[in-house]
Amino acid sequence: MEKSGKQEQGKNTFTDKKIFPVPYDLGEIQENIIISTSSKEQIISQAFKFHSEGNLIEAEKYYQYFINEGYSDPSVFSNYGIILKDMGKLKEADLLTRKAIEQKPSFSDAHYNHGIILDKLGRFKESELAYRKAIELKPTFSEAYLNLGSLIKNHGQLNEAKKLIQKAIEFNPDLIEAHLNLGIILKDLGNLKEAEISTRKAIELKPDFTDAYSNLGDILKELGKLEEAEISTRKAIELNPDLAEAHSNL
């Protein structure tokens, strides 16, 4: 899942997901790179290998070399777009991902990645449409349901967001952020007991999930379980001493 270049995590934020985990800042790429490959297939294979291994500097070199040679492939455009997104080059990432979709309109992952990029560009309606297209093409795309639900929630459509994130969990019960986000929505809807259950599930799946402990503390406080709320909030601070919100709540 989706993964880096995340939005800042917190009580009311939602975690970005994408296809490749690329938590990396790419440095300057030298122009005089020599890549000892002789075919389109070899270049793609090497690029994908480096990308899957998390060696993004080398992956970036091969993707760029591939494009410079005049080759074209939707997977290359989509994957390179992910790297550019995490470099903060959102307009370039947008253009490359659009190329991937133009070449392969049925490429559900590209539509999904495009949704993330468009969201970060502040083009929320287009982002929503991209996520919905990814789901149309791949009806079991749990991460797309999660991101779409998060987007919808942030624009006040709580009941629709709830349904979407429940769909994400239906297709992937181990999707940690879906349980956390469902807990946030249920709390906002006033369903505190259900919110507690969802948030505890996120902690069960990821015992060091700082945001989940912090959110659980809030929920327990509203339920009147003050002693448990304090324990949960202190756990959030133990995991992240710089979590200002947890200190405030405590």
Quote the pLDDT of residue 44. 85
Quote the pLDDT of residue 6. 36
Quote the pLDDT of residue 101. 97
Quote the pLDDT of residue 22. 28
**What are the pLDDT digits (tens) for 205-247?**
999 999 999 999 999 999 999 999 999 999 999 998 877 676 6
Mean pLDDT in residue range 53-70: 88
* Token representation of residue 139: 């009806």
Quote the pLDDT of residue 38. 56
What percent of the chain stands above pLDDT 90?
Answer: 62
Give the residue with greater pLDDT, 37 vs 136.
136
Q: What whole-number distance in Å separates Cα of residue 50 and Cα of residue 138? A: 27
Q: Determine whether 25 is exposed, middle or buried from the number of CB atoms within 10 Å of its CB (0-12, 13-18, 19+).
A: exposed
Quote the pLDDT of residue 33. 42
Residues in the chain: 250
What percent of the chain stands above pLDDT 70?
Answer: 82
Quote the pLDDT of residue 244. 62
**What are the pLDDT digits (tens) for 141-198?**
999 999 999 999 999 999 999 999 999 999 999 999 999 999 999 999 999 999 999 9
Mean pLDDT of the chain: 84
* Token representation of residue 151: 């987007």
Q: Write the DSSP string, the chain.
A: ----SPPPPSTT------SS-------PPPS-------SHHHHHHHHHHHHHTT-HHHHHHHHHHHHHTT---HHHHHHHHHHHHHTT-HHHHHHHHHHHHHH-TT-HHHHHHHHHHHHHTT-HHHHHHHHHHHHHH-TT-HHHHHHHHHHHHTTT-HHHHHHHHHHHHHH-TT-HHHHHHHHHHHHHTT-HHHHHHHHHHHHHH-TT-HHHHHHHHHHHHHTT-HHHHHHHHHHHHHH-TT-HHHHHH-
Is 0.85 surpassed by the pTM of this model? no
